[in-house]
Amino acid sequence: MSLLKLTMVTITAALLSSASFARDCTAPAAPDIPKGKDTNTTEMMNARAEFSEYLAQSRQYLACVKDKQMKLAKDATEDEREAVDELYDSMVSNMQTAYEDMGRAAKQFKQTAEAKMDEADAATQSEQDAVARLYKDMVTKLKAASNEVKRAYNDFQEDVEEAE
């Protein structure tokens, strides 16, 4: 084997170690989810957008980790595979926590908004409809997020089992 080939094999092996390889994947920071009962409609819409962006970045991160895991599959040590599995599991757990926090905030927001409308009895039908639409949209996104978290975890586990 030539010196160049030997060097390339050594460099490739070093890059494939899970510690350095998985670091190429950057986990997104969890969104700052407000307390729903003290949040106005604009803040809640911003939180929803932030949550959606977090989910998109999380999907990219999980795909990156999954890709790294598949590349490591047969050549990695058990410790290396476990380290990458832990990265994936940790992200899925973080997504689940953000999903639960957003769900609580959405529910609190809806309850508070409805109570304020009832107290003031000044809410127009369009204001009530706007709150209802926002809440419905958030619930739809939350259900999709929950399904996505479950799907991502199951897909990853299946791929890991196939690779082993």
Per-residue confidence in pLDDT tens, the chain, 164 aa = 433 333 333 333 443 444 555 568 899 999 988 887 778 878 888 888 898 899 889 989 988 988 887 777 777 788 887 888 888 888 888 888 888 888 888 888 888 877 776 665 556 777 777 777 777 777 777 777 777 777 777 776 776 676 66
> For position 96, what pLDDT does the model report?
86
**What three-state secondary structure class fits 33?**
coil
CATH code for the domain of 55 = 1.20.58
Long-range contacts (CB closer than 8 Å, 24 or more residues apart) made by 108-112: 108/35, 108/36, 108/37, 108/39, 109/36, 109/37, 109/39, 109/44, 109/134, 109/135, 110/36, 110/135, 111/36, 111/37, 112/36, 112/37, 112/38, 112/39
**What separation, in Å, do the N-terminal and C-terminal C-alpha atoms of the chain show?**
29
pLDDT at residue 108 in the model: 86
* Number of domains within the chain: 1
**pLDDT reported for residue 159:** 67
pLDDT for the residue 92: 86
Distances (CA, A) of 105 to 55, 81, 108, 136: 17, 36, 5, 13
Q: For residue 18, give its domain range.
A: 3-163
> What does the pLDDT read at residue 60?
92
